[in-house]
């Protein structure tokens, strides 16, 4: 028996207390709706594809670790997904332990590998000879302290104590105080959020072949329309070494002429291009562009061409 | 009293016997219509603008001398002109003289400066110490022999003896046996000749300012659409040294998508762009272009964008 | 007391049996020398920096998973490292278990997350309801079977049975039969391996600022010298979201003029560029380039300039 | 018997009173040296090539009429010429006549065709029904008034009355009050004038072939080194329609690194490039360029490459 679709449900990488949950809490529309905790990006997107959830919140990039490959590859391979929102969550960590543990007691730390890598400096200075057990998530690392005594402490998000009865042995143990993770809200809708003037457009595109200058030619599609690129990441297509697709974020919205024109140029150029959506930027910073790429300039040029072609001018 | 418009009249640089007349004789539609001989490019275009003539045949480029500045500047400054055809005339010259004159008698030659320059080699070899009187046209040079005896011979087009009773002292005296002049037929129509697959599109454009790389950016409008440029000539705008407009011929027709898209790109880029027309090439050579710039590719990309914007995909 | 440098030692991600060890076994110069097994990229490079080892073999890219971020970031941040060789290892996996275990017994699998992700299809088909315990390496996954009985089976490299007494429950369980991992041999030498005609040059560069078209301008440094780029990966600089450096592989060797000229262009352009070395390609495929970018063309142009500047021409 | 070389002689388009003479009077080194009046550009350059003169002053461009084709073509075809200076002369005209003539008497005007074209507006307004006799130079036009009475008046440079006993019927009759002609001083020296910070570099180059984007690629040689182009003119190579060479002025001096590097890039690109010289700009305006193209940046990059190649870094 098929599951009853729950179009108002939001999936996220759980359990409660993860950074992803913090990101989801920024979504006004999700307030008061069912939230579904899942184990990984694949499950989150499965929920969206199958209709179990209206949308899924997933991490796409960390300011220290870079792009989240699993997310990028899933967006490239699963059809009909759309990004409808972007959210930023400052990333910091605490070292937690079972009640009564002191820092001097800590020999082995349970931590998600990404979190572990981001606390390298603090760990080297304060626990130079510790051991490490990898966890599947930051919250799972903390929760594991109750499941076994293999680890003495765990690296976890600051909000973990709202969910688990643990002592905080140290705060702000992340190497980079400005670390931030960028999340996206992914849906199956084909309705694009309205342009706000502070938008991003995400696409994934393959190059036509490996001739010299092919990437350059692709980037010219944007540059010649004054469209700035805020992200360019290559990901292997996977069939052979040396074949890549590119994950690209553009400044602007598909309803802006210069972006639309660049998208058409890209579509003509690339053998395989996926439009992932136009959506408001998390930072709310309005996109700046030279006025010679303004909508009116495009409209005027199209009207001029139409007049020429119809013999009116 | 205004002149009665004669929409079937064709103006050309006369008198009878000029290369321009030869060009006009290639125009099937002009056969049997009134031909009006004028003295220079300005008069020819005045005829078109005023409606005295349906069209004017004027020289635009010579394979040895280069672009005809007067024509290029007139096309840039007189509005509402359109090129509707292109014609090529091989350029060769004969040395003619009054009956009874021999080559040994020739001391002074009457010749249009352009023709004179193109016979430099022959003159140096055969008449090393001659003098030169400039004429206003090749036919006028020959005709002058009957007006005065200042000159002993004249440089003229091969067909001159059909119009004047003269002796030919030497044939094929041009330096370059492959010299050719390119002519254009100019009208005021706004109806563009249908695309033939072997077409040119002529434009004149100014650069937005003199920042480094501005010309490069203009040329990218063509290159990024796979549109080849067969001519690029700079002409002074005339208001100050160092300010230029560019006379450009593109391979292709405005009804071809890649050309139309490039024209829109140029319109957006340039503060002043003049569309001079799309018309069949004189040489009839079909335009070759990479199939990734074919009409269907543009149409598909536009349809894709439309589906995205309307939420159908 | 400082360690005695062992310049002939080679470090690699161990223990014995890893794909990295397979890569190291391809290095002729390493045969018969001490091999030092380490736990991660950081330790391997520390060995090189400290002089404990002459060189370290580390994974840089997998055809399915993409670039190895830890390696790329280490190369960007640790000075004085040089890539001196490239090696390819086909990646395939076996499912192993303690003696006597059958496939039907398998409930929980121990596997390195990367390996686990690459066996997704086989696992879904054959063990749809299994659990997963992450390991720190492929060999550690197998070894863990002897440490505890939390897991019933492990995903391991094909050569694992040479090191551990285990049953192979299934072979070739990787999703992609052509999967390959690219390794690099890293040293502190400043001597570049001689050009072979089949070389790569690796660099890491930052963009001068985030103005539109900045990346395009960087890539033009290569394109205008006919230098092909086989890899372009962005990595966060780490100080703020949206700031990237680029890991780049070029076809060719620093001793080839077009590459040297492109490197100088890049050095002038980028506020921070790291030369990681020129070294023979693992696939031995000779680099093809247009002969107008040949060494002789560069030499001739330089000689011409010298003659002009010295007044000889 | 060969002519005795007169290395201090300066040739110019005469006779006394021409704009070319005004240009030559700006050359400090020419003061007190013999000046040789010649009839055309060809004779002036012949003097230089043969050694009869040390240098020749010739017009290269007029702000209204554009480039002087004869000069451009001569520079392209005569080897071993160098531009060593640039001079600007404001171009204005007077209408002169034999003593006692009034404006009402004027029926026919003797004028050089270029001067005649530049007085079009005044002539239309004041002498709408005049006739025109072409002259070979502006001064010859005035002088002709003494030779015959075919013409009643002549268009001449303002200084003409210093040389001829004529009445000035009207002053400032040129259409454009800012019209200016640019002259160059041409020599056979291979010593380049020292860089002043306000220099030009002139070259003539052919494109490698007529593939789409070939001109674009040539211009990128300049743009990628931050070298601005102040002039780009196409001239027919002359062997066939549609084959062009380009006359180019660059901002800067061959002794500046960015210019030298661009010249090498051009030499590699073009099958035929002629260096015409680096010389001080007539307007004395210092060349502005982005400091990332400064000499020190180039030197640093070259030193860096040298250190890398020699194993010092």
Distance from CA of A36 to the nearest CA of B (A): 27
**C123 with C130: CB under 8 angstroms?**
yes
**C241 with A180: CB under 8 angstroms?**
yes
pLDDT of res. D7: 67
Q: Residue C123: which residues within 8 A CB-CB, separation 6 or more?
A: C109, C116, C130, C173
> Is it the case that residue B12 has pLDDT exceeding 50?
yes
Q: What is the DSSP string of A270-302?
A: -SSEEEEEEEE-TT-PPPP--GGGSHHHHHHHH
pLDDT more than 90, % of chain D = 77
Subunits with 3+ Cβ pairs within 8 Å of B are A, D
Q: What is the DSSP string of chain B?
A: -PPPP-TT-EEEE-STTSHHHHHHTT-GGGTTS-EEEESSHHHHHHHHHHTS-SEEEEEEEETTTEE-HHHHHHHHHSTT-EEEEEEEEE---EEEESTT--GGG--EEEE-HHHHHHTHHHHHHH-TT-EEEE-SSHHHHHHHHHH-SS-SEEEE-GGGGGTS--EEEES---S-TT-EEEEEEEE---PPPPP-SSEEEEEEEE-S---TTHHHHHHHHHHTTT--EEEEEEEE-SSSTT-EEEEEEEES-TTSHHHHHHHHHHHHH-SSEEEEEEEE-TT-PPPP--GGGSHHHHHHHHHHHHHHHTT--
Interface test with C, best of D227, D274, D308 (most C CBs within 10 A): D308
Tell me if chain A has a CB within 8 Å of the CB of C234.
yes
Q: What are phi and psi of A102, to 5 degrees?
A: -115, 165
Mean pLDDT across chain D: 92
Element spanning D147, H or E: helix D138-147
Confidence of residue B1 (pLDDT cuts 50, 70, 90): very low
Region B89-105: what's the mean pLDDT?
Answer: 95
pLDDT of res. C39: 84
**A203 with A250: CB under 8 angstroms?**
yes
Tell me if chain B has a CB within 8 Å of the CB of A244.
no
Cβ–Cβ gap A236/C62 under 8 Å: yes
> Is it the case that residue C212 has pLDDT exceeding 80?
no
Distance from CA of B308 to the nearest CA of D (A): 32
Distance from CA of B298 to the nearest CA of A (A): 7
SS3 C78: coil
CA dihedral A78, A83, A86, A92 (to 10 degrees): -10
ipTM of the complex: 0.91
* Beta strands, E only, D171-252: 180-187, 199-206, 229-236, 244-251
* Both tokens assigned to C142: 């197998």
Region C190-218: what's the mean pLDDT?
Answer: 90
* Nearest residue of B to residue A264, measured between CA atoms: B301
pLDDT of res. D2: 41
Confidence of residue A211 (pLDDT cuts 50, 70, 90): low
* Nearest residue of D to residue B236, measured between CA atoms: D66
Q: In this predicted model, what pLDDT tens digit does every residue of D240-269 receive, in sequence order?
A: 888 899 999 999 999 999 999 999 999 999
Tell me if chain D has a CB within 8 Å of the CB of B152.
no
Cβ–Cβ gap C275/D300 under 8 Å: no
Residue D252, CB half-sphere, CA atoms under 13 Å: how many? 24
**D85 with D27: CB under 8 angstroms?**
yes
> Is it the case that residue A4 has pLDDT exceeding 60?
no
What secondary structure letter does DSSP report for A124?
H
**C164 with C140: CB under 8 angstroms?**
no
pLDDT of res. C3: 46
Cβ–Cβ gap D265/C301 under 8 Å: yes
Cβ–Cβ gap D65/B236 under 8 Å: yes
Tell me if chain A has a CB within 8 Å of the CB of B303.
no
Cβ–Cβ gap B311/A267 under 8 Å: no
> Is it the case that residue B177 has pLDDT exceeding 90?
no
Cβ–Cβ gap D66/B240 under 8 Å: no
Strand A108-111 to strand A153-156: parallel, antiparallel, or no bridges (unpaired)?
Answer: parallel
SS3 D285: coil
Region D69-91: what's the mean pLDDT?
Answer: 95
Residue A240 has a CB neighbour count (10 Å cut-off) of 12
> Is it the case that residue C6 has pLDDT exceeding 60?
no
Strand C10-13 to strand C35-38: parallel, antiparallel, or no bridges (unpaired)?
Answer: parallel
End-to-end CA distance of chain A: 65
Q: How far is B188 from B195, CA to CA, in rounded Å?
A: 19
> Is it the case that residue D136 has pLDDT exceeding 80?
no
CA–centroid distance for B146 within its chain: 31
Residue A51 has a CB neighbour count (10 Å cut-off) of 15
Q: What are phi and psi of D199, to 5 degrees?
A: -125, 160
Q: Residue B54: which residues within 8 A CB-CB, separation 6 or more?
A: B6, B7, B8, B9, B10, B33, B48, B187
Interface test with C, best of D79, D301, D303, D310 (most C CBs within 10 A): D301
Which chain A residues are closer than 8 Å to C129 by Cβ? Answer: none
Which chain B residues are closer than 8 Å to A313 by Cβ? Answer: 190
Q: What are phi and psi of A43, to 5 degrees?
A: -65, -40
Give the nearest partner residue to A313 out of B190, B217, B302, using CB atoms.
Answer: B190
**Preceding omega of C15 cis (within 30 degrees of 0):** yes
Q: Residue A73: which residues within 8 A CB-CB, separation 6 or more?
A: A235, A238
Bridge partners (DSSP) of residue A154 are: A96, A110
Residue A53, CB half-sphere, CA atoms under 13 Å: how many? 24
Selection from C21, C13, C19 nearest residue C37 by Cα: C13
End-to-end CA distance of chain C: 64
Selection from B148, B174, B142 nearest residue B160 by Cα: B142
Cβ–Cβ gap B212/D234 under 8 Å: no
**B200 with B275: CB under 8 angstroms?**
no
Cβ–Cβ gap D311/C192 under 8 Å: yes
pTM of the entire structure? 0.90
- What angle (nearest 5°) sits at the alpha carbon of residue D275, between those of residues D271 and D277? 170
Element spanning C43, H or E: helix C41-50
Cβ–Cβ gap C215/A219 under 8 Å: yes
> Is it the case that residue A6 has pLDDT exceeding 90?
no
Distances (CA, A) of D53 to B305, D6, D12: 68, 6, 10
Bridge partners (DSSP) of residue D202 are: D249, D277
Selection from D275, D270, D287 nearest residue D197 by Cα: D287
CA dihedral C248, C249, C251, C255 (to 10 degrees): 90
Q: Residue A150: which residues within 8 A CB-CB, separation 6 or more?
A: A108, A110, A133, A144
Region A151-171: what's the mean pLDDT?
Answer: 93
Give the 3-state DSSP-derived string for A150-185, with helices as H, strands as E and coil as C: CCCEEEECHHHHHCCCCEEEECCCCCCCCCEEEEEE
What secondary structure letter does DSSP report for D275?
E
Q: How far is B128 from D23, CA to CA, in rounded Å?
A: 31
Subunits with 3+ Cβ pairs within 8 Å of A are B, C
Region A34-38: what's the mean pLDDT?
Answer: 95
SS3 D92: coil
Tell me if chain B has a CB within 8 Å of the CB of A292.
yes
**Domains present along chain D, CATH in parentheses:** 1-91+179-191 (3.40.190.10), 94-170 (3.40.190.10), 192-313 (3.30.70.260)
Selection from A43, A33, A38, A47 nearest residue A14 by Cα: A38
Cβ–Cβ gap C192/D301 under 8 Å: no
Region A190-206: what's the mean pLDDT?
Answer: 96
**C183 with C263: CB under 8 angstroms?**
no
Handedness of CA B176, B178, B184, B185 (dihedral sign): positive
Subunits with 3+ Cβ pairs within 8 Å of C are A, D
Give the nearest partner residue to A191 out of B191, B293, B311, using CB atoms.
Answer: B311
| Region label for D13, one of left (φ > 0), alpha (ψ between -120 and 50) or beta (otherwise) | beta
Confidence of residue D138 (pLDDT cuts 50, 70, 90): confident
CA dihedral A262, A267, A271, A274 (to 10 degrees): 90
Residue A128, CB half-sphere, CA atoms under 13 Å: how many? 1
């Amino acid at each position: 028996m098929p599951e009853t679709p729950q179009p108002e449900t939001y999936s996220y990488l759980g359990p409660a207390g993860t950074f992803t949950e913090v990101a989801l809490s920024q979504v006004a529309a999700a307030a008061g709706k069912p939230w579904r905790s899942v184990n990984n990006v694949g499950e989150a997107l499965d929920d969206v594809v199958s209709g179990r959830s209206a949308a899924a919140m997933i991490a796409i990039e960390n300011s220290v670790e870079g792009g989240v490959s699993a997310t990028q590859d899933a967006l490239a391979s699963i059809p009909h997904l759309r990004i409808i929102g972007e959210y930023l969550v400052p990333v910091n960590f605490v070292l937690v332990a079972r009640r009564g543990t002191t820092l001097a007691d800590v020999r082995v730390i349970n931590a998600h590998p990404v979190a572990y890598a981001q606390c390298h400096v603090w760990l080297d200075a304060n626990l130079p000879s510790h051991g490490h057990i990898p966890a599947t998530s930051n919250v799972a690392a903390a929760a594991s302290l109750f499941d076994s005594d293999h680890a003495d402490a765990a690296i976890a998000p600051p909000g973990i104590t709202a969910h688990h009865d643990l002592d905080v042995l140290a705060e702000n143990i992340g190497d980079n105080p400005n670390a931030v993770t960028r999340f996206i809200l992914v849906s199956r809708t084909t309705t694009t959020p309205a342009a706000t003037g502070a938008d991003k457009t995400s696409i994934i595109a393959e190059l036509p072949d490996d001739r010299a200058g092919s990437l350059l030619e692709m980037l010219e599609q944007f540059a010649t329309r004054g469209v700035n690129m805020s992200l360019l990441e290559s990901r292997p297509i996977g069939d052979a070494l040396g074949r890549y697709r590119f994950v690209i974020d553009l400044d602007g919205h598909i309803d802006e002429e210069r972006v639309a024109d660049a998208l058409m140029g890209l579509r003509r150029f690339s053998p395989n291009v996926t439009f992932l959506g136009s959506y408001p930027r998390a930072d709310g910073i309005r996109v700046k562009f030279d006025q010679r790429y303004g909508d009116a300039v495009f409209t005027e040029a199209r009207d001029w061409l139409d007049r020429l072609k119809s013999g009116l001018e």
